[in-house]
Structure formats: structure tokens, C-alpha cells
Amino acid sequence: MKPFINKVVDSKTLFICFRLFLGFIFIYASIGKIQNPALFAEVIENYKILPYSLINLFALLLPWLEFICGLLLILGLCVRGSSLILLGLLCIFTIAIAINVIRGVDITCGCKTPWEKMDRISFQKLAEEIGFILLALQVFFHRSCFLTVDKFFNKS
């Protein structure tokens, strides 16, 4: 099993595909939230996890963090740091979805832009988030700077 995991982590093809895919997904997901922070604040509030005083702050900052990290992944800048931040966000999103699925709450996940029909939280959405975590793990643990701008700054 370990040699298979090493092959996955060391795969340059998967690295570039996962890096670009995650970058585009997070940019895409952030655009509608940036354009309509009030709607995103409502989505955050529906999760009933954050204190009310932090909801607006998260609704304003989180989409920009997603956008910047997604852009950095696509450009190949600060790939490890960006993937680590997105990995942390994905873990938080997964936990928030899991809590509310277990609670039996029927809410939208807030994953897509407001002009689309937003997905409801579910075990399927939970599995999707875990899949994204696996992609982000591969990008984070990949050892080379294949097709990144980082390779010009990291000579070691």
C-alpha cells in the first residue's frame, strides 16, 4: 500500500492536475461570495456554529482567502502554503457539514456562487469535501516544484 501512496504523492501529472483543479474550484467558489457577502453571511449563519459576532467578518474574509489561495495555486506561487491553507479550510468545511448532517439540518452548503442552485448538505457533499481534502494533501506533500514559479525561488 505504501508504494502506491508514494507513487500518487510523487506523481507530477497528478500534482499539476490537482493543483490547477483546486485553484479553479476555489476561485470559482469565491466569486459569488465576494460579489454577495450578505447572502454568504446568511449561509454561514445557517450552520449555527460561529458566534453571531464573527459571521460578517468570515463572510467578508473567507471568499478572498479562497480566491487568493486558488490564484496562487494556479500561478504556482507559494504552492505549499496555499494548499495548506485550503486544506485547513476544507477540513473546517467538512466538519461543519458533518455536524449539520448529523444534526439533520437541511441547509445549503454555500459552496457555489449565489446565482446557481446551491447544493444541500448531505453525505454526498461530505464525500465530495473529503475528496477535495485528498487532492489538497497530494498537492501539499508533493516533493517537487514541477511547473511552478516556486521552483525559481526554491533552489534547494
Q: What is the pLDDT of residues 77-104, one digit of tens each?
A: 999 999 999 999 999 999 999 999 999 9
CA dihedral 60, 119, 74, 17 (to 10 degrees): 160
Q: Is the pLDDT of residue 141 over 90?
A: yes
Kindly indicate the confidence band of residue 119, based on its pLDDT and cuts at 50, 70 and 90: confident
Which residues have a Cβ under 8 Å from the Cβ of 12 and sit 6 or more positions away? Answer: 142, 144, 146, 147
What's the whole-model pTM score? 0.88
pLDDT at position 8 is 72
